[in-house]
């Protein structure tokens, strides 16, 4: 079916909604009727030619065999499909024999729906179709809707037909039927203001994905092939992949069997996909309904090929409980084994942030790959993602761990950047990821990046956000670039603008980096004062409500049980101030012992101030020693946390103050050897790692200034120490490397790799443009700038 016929068919079906349902449903509910009716009519048209054969088989089983229950196999054979209908009715017969009695019509329809095989009945149930028909019958529009769907002006059969005027109505192929569904659903989503993540994959993108998936291995396909889509939608990717493999005149000429598997969470879309599987003779039981992330439906399966366009930018909060228990990942699909900087193996989190679950679908497919040891081709994956999968998440995060696992296990083959506005309901930049666990020798250890964002042709009319598409020559250019596996420099046109395709090939390690914390010493001044120690009366995290309570009630807050009676007032005040309290915090605010401990800490600080005085010093080390001696002299029992709370209250950072010592250590030759081996440096370089030798041979380490702490991303191919000496130490002499903080991360930046500087236009060109615009503005700019109109078009010198 050509694009014109496709659009005409969609428009006809769309008009049925406006013509018949306007006063019966609100506009946002049209889809609840139209989509299931399209499915029903499609199945009905496929069964019409074999209706008599099916009814004869029904008669034979009842009368000749005396069967109480039907034998499905002969009925499927008679129908020619994996579904059938044993009732006397078709939609055309229901329409032609109908009267104005809605009850009789509804009873006949119920008999018609009950006559379908169980696999169709499930679809009808998912669509809640009979409930919709009952509602339409009550509103006297059911017959009108049926009449439109059996109209001679619409052709939902796979064969060409003529309309009453003798014009040919092209047959609707199975693939064409899928696109009709997708276009209708897109329009309904647009009407209902569905979010951008609910989109469908354009056919030319699926064509490209199938070329990329199968073209490199056309002569190596196994005799039995399995294809899986964990977010299969209406099944477009699955059926297109099958069509590409089985096309009689196609490039593959595969003789093997193809089995399709998928899972879809939306009932409507699942019903559409399942009906499509039945129409094409695939096993509909391989299509499952539900959340792929919550339940590992195909845990025992491994697949040869996987294609998917998972939802991106969508929260998976509702499924977190199935994947994580607190911070622990409990679903093995989303755990990966990685080594840290020191070579220690560990099982790590492979879950992205809860606001975007697209990488979980990629991990689901990675989990379903066939080991290359048991299948020579291993598995191949093609998955569509937005840009966040390339770079969001710092080193050690779930997103980075996913990228790292895929790249370090040499599964990432190619990433292709697509044009903007290529998809129906989103205009953002998208990418196709190609993965395999059986790379050919020439590709091992390497990753290909293809920038195809300038390859497109404009549509004559936008389809939602989609304003462009791939032409066949664009698909061929991308596929050829992929197969050639060689760098391609982008061409530049006469206007110095980039055109065409660009390709670069990288080593796996090029995308990795060490995230290194760079420390600087803490330098503190200190002095006791009443104002500085006063806040010790209150907990830092609850300072505002505690200050308010103390100002309101004074010493009463220390009376046992008093604050229990103020619970409602506390909650009300916090709500007015926009302060959110959890149960633990509310408990602390009304806990007299909690208040008392803080008051006692303030008393201790007051005593220490009396012992030490209020003189200010830039030597925090001596000040800290004096506080420690005073505490011992008074025999005060003070924990480390309480002591640090006092010291922090009466000290502050000052870059002119002395460095704060953390520890002083004497190192034996064995200790020194262990330390240099651990850090991978010479003894003379220990200062670069925070170990400073003293004249007496001891080593000092300093407390870190957390506010001055910084981080550097050092490429895996570079040395952390070399990078530090070249890029950090010349600018901050007293900084050091915290090597124990190192984490390994991976990210991919198309902007960095394919950026091309476009020189600014010359001053002369800009001047001419300004003056030309000024001429159009009737001399306004000339008056403002004092430029003579007669000279405004003369070239600038």
pLDDT digit string, tens, across residues 631-651: 999 999 999 999 999 999 999
Among the ranges given (473-482, 497-506, 524-533, 771-780), the one the predictor scored with the smallest mean pLDDT: 771-780
As a whole number, the mean pLDDT across the chain is 89
- Among residues of the chain, what percentage have pLDDT more than 90? 66
Which band of pLDDT confidence, cut at 50, 70 and 90, is reported for residue 192? Answer: low
CA of residue 665 relative to chain centroid, distance = 49
- Segment 286-315 shows an average pLDDT of 94
Residue 588 has pLDDT above 50, yes or no: yes
Instruction: Please provide residue 430's backbone torsions phi and psi, each rounded to the nearest 5 degrees.
Output: -125, 160
Say whether both 493 and 530 belong to one domain. no
Q: Assess whether pLDDT exceeds 60 at residue 196.
A: no
Who wins on pLDDT, 84 or 191? 84
Higher pLDDT, 22 or 111: 111
Per-residue pLDDT tens for 572-584?
999 999 999 899 9
Same domain, 445 and 316: yes
- pLDDT tens-digit series, residues 133-163: 999 999 999 999 999 999 999 888 888 899 8
Kindly state whether residues 647 and 571 are assigned to the same domain: yes
What's the mean pLDDT in 34-60?
92
What's the structural domain count of the chain? 4
Residue 207: inside a domain: yes
**pLDDT surpassing 50 at residue 792:** no
* Whether residue 90 sits in one domain with residue 58: yes
Q: What is the pLDDT of residue 617?
A: 97
The verdict on residue 533 lying in a domain is yes
Expressed as residue numbers, the domain containing 54 is 3-172
- Residue 280 and residue 209 share a domain: yes
Count of Cβ atoms closer than 10 Å to residue 597 Cβ: 12
* Confidence at residue 575, expressed as pLDDT on a 0 to 100 scale: 92
Task: Check whether 3 has a pLDDT greater than 70.
Answer: no
- Partners of residue 270 on adjacent β-strands: none
3-state secondary structure 598-643: HHHHHHHHHHHHHHHCCCCECCHHHHHHHHHHHHHHCCCCCCHHHH
Which of 637, 653, 669 terminates a domain? The answer is: 653
- Poorest-confidence range of 174-188, 207-221, 585-599, 632-646? 174-188
**One domain for residues 230 and 149:** no
Question: What local confidence, expressed as pLDDT, does residue 109 receive?
Answer: 95
What percentage of the chain's residues is helix, strand, coil (to nearest 5)?
45, 15, 35
Read off the pLDDT band of 796 (50, 70, 90).
very low
> Which of the listed residues 480, 515, 550 is the one where a domain comes to its end?
515
Based on the fold, state whether residues 376 and 454 are members of the same structural domain: yes
Nearest to 94 by CA among 32, 147, 156, 38: 147
Domain final residue, candidates 172, 193, 215: 172
3-class secondary-structure state, position 449 = strand
Classify residue 230: in a domain, yes or no.
Answer: yes
User: Is the distance from CB of 780 to CB of 789 less than 8 angstroms?
Assistant: no
In a domain, 684, yes or no: no
Question: How does pLDDT run across 251-283, given as a tens digit for each residue?
Answer: 666 667 899 999 999 888 888 888 888 877 788
Q: How confident is residue 9, by pLDDT bands cut at 50, 70 and 90? A: confident
Looking at the fold, whether 432 and 405 belong to one and the same domain comes out as yes
Q: Which of 72-86, 97-111, 267-281, 712-726 has the highest mean pLDDT?
A: 712-726
Residue 27 confidence class, pLDDT cut points 50, 70, 90 = confident
> Which of 68-82, 207-221, 707-721 has the highest average model confidence (pLDDT)?
707-721
Pair 479, 530 in one domain: no
Residue 346 has pLDDT above 70, yes or no: yes
Of residues 774 and 99, more confidence is placed in 99
Confidence check: pLDDT of 194 > 60 = no
Instruction: Report if residue 198 sits inside a domain.
Output: no
């Amino acid at each position: 079916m050509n694009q014109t016929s496709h659009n005409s068919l969609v428009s006809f079906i769309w008009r049925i909604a406006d013509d018949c349902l306007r006063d019966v449903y609100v506009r946002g509910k049209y889809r609840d009727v139209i989509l299931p009716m399209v499915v029903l009519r499609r199945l009905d048209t496929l069964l019409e030619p074999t209706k008599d054969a099916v009814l004869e088989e029904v008669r034979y089983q009842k009368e000749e065999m005396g069967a109480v229950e039907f034998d499905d196999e002969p009925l499927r054979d008679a129908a020619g499909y994996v579904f059938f209908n044993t009732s006397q009715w078709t939609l055309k017969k229901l329409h032609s024999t109908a009267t104005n009695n809605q009850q009789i019509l509804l009873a006949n329809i119920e008999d018609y729906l009950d006559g379908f095989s169980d696999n169709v009945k499930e679809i009808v149930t998912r669509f809640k179709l009979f409930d919709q028909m009952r509602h339409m019958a009550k509103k006297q529009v059911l017959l009108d809707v049926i009449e439109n769907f059996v109209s001679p002006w619409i052709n939902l059969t796979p064969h060409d037909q003529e309309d009453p005027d003798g014009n040919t109505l092209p047959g609707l192929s199975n693939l064409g039927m899928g696109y009709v569904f997708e276009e209708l659903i897109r329009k309904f989503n647009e009407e209902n203001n569905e979010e951008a993540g609910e989109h469908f994959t354009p056919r030319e993108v699926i064509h490209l994905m199938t070329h990329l998936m199968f073209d490199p291995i056309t002569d190596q396909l196994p005799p039995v092939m399995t294809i899986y889509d964990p977010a299969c939608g209406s099944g477009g990717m699955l059926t297109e992949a099958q069509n590409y493999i089985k096309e009689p005149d196609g490039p593959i000429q595969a003789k093997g069997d193809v089995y399709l598997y998928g899972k879809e969470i939306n009932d409507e879309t699942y019903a559409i996909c399942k009906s499509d599987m039945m129409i094409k003779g695939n096993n509909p039981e391989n299509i499952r309904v539900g959340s792929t992330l919550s339940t590992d439906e195909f845990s025992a399966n491994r697949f040869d090929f996987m294609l998917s366009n998972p939802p991106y930018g969508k929260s998976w909060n509702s499924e977190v409980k199935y994947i994580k228990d607190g911070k622990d990942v409990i679903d093995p699909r989303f755990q990966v084994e990685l080594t840290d900087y020191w070579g220690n193996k560990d099982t790590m989190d492979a879950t992205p942030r809860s606001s975007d679950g697209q990488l979980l679908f990629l991990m689901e497919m990675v989990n379903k790959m066939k080991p290359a040891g048991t299948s020579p081709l291993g598995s191949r994956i093609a998955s569509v993602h937005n840009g966040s999968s390339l770079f969001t998440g710092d080193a050690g995060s779930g997103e980075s761990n996913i990228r790292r696992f895929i790249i370090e296990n040499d599964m990432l083959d190619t990433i292709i950047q697509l044009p903007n506005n290529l998809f129906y309901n989103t205009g953002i930049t998208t990418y196709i990821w190609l993965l395999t666990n059986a790379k050919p020798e020439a590709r091992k250890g390497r990753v290909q990046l293809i920038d195809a964002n300038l390859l497109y042709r404009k549509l004559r009319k936008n389809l939602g956000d989609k304003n462009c598409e791939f032409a066949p020559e664009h698909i061929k250019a991308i596929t050829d670039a992929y197969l050639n596996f060689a760098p391609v420099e982008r061409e530049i046109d006469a206007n110095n603008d980039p055109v065409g395709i660009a390709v670069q090939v990288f080593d796996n390690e090029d995308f990795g980096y060490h995230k290194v914390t760079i420390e600087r010493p803490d330098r503190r001044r200190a002095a006791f004062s009443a104002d500085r120690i006063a806040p010790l009366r209150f907990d830092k995290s609850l300072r505002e409500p505690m200050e308010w309570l103390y100002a309101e009630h004074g010493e009463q807050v220390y009376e046992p049980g008093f604050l229990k009676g103020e619970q409602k007032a506390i909650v009300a005040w916090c709500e007015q101030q926009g302060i959110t309290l959890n149960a633990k915090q509310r408990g602390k605010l009304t806990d007299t012992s909690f208040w008392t401990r803080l008051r006692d800490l303030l008393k201790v600080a007051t005593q220490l101030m009396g012992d030490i005085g209020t003189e200010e010093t830039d030597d925090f080390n001596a000040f800290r020693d004096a506080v420690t001696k005073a505490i011992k002299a008074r025999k005060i029992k003070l924990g480390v946390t309480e002591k640090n709370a006092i010291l922090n209250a009466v000290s502050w950072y000052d870059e002119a103050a002395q460095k704060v010592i953390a520890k002083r250590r004497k190192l034996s030759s064995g200790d020194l050897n262990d330390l240099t081996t651990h850090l991978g440096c010479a003894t003379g370089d220990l200062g670069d790692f925070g170990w400073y030798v003293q004249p007496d041979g001891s080593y000092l380490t300093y407390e870190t200034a957390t506010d001055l702490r910084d981080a550097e991303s050092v490429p895996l191919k570079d040395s952390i120490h070399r990078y530090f000496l070249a890029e950090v130490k010349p600018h901050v002499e007293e900084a050091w490397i915290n090597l124990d903080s190192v984490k390994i991360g991976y990210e991919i930046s198309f902007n960095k790799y394919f950026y091309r500087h476009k020189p600014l236009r010359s001053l002369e060109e800009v001047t001419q443009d300004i003056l030309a615009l000024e001429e159009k503005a009737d001399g306004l700019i000339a008056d403002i700038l004092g430029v003579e109109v007669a000279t405004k078009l003369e070239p600038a010198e």
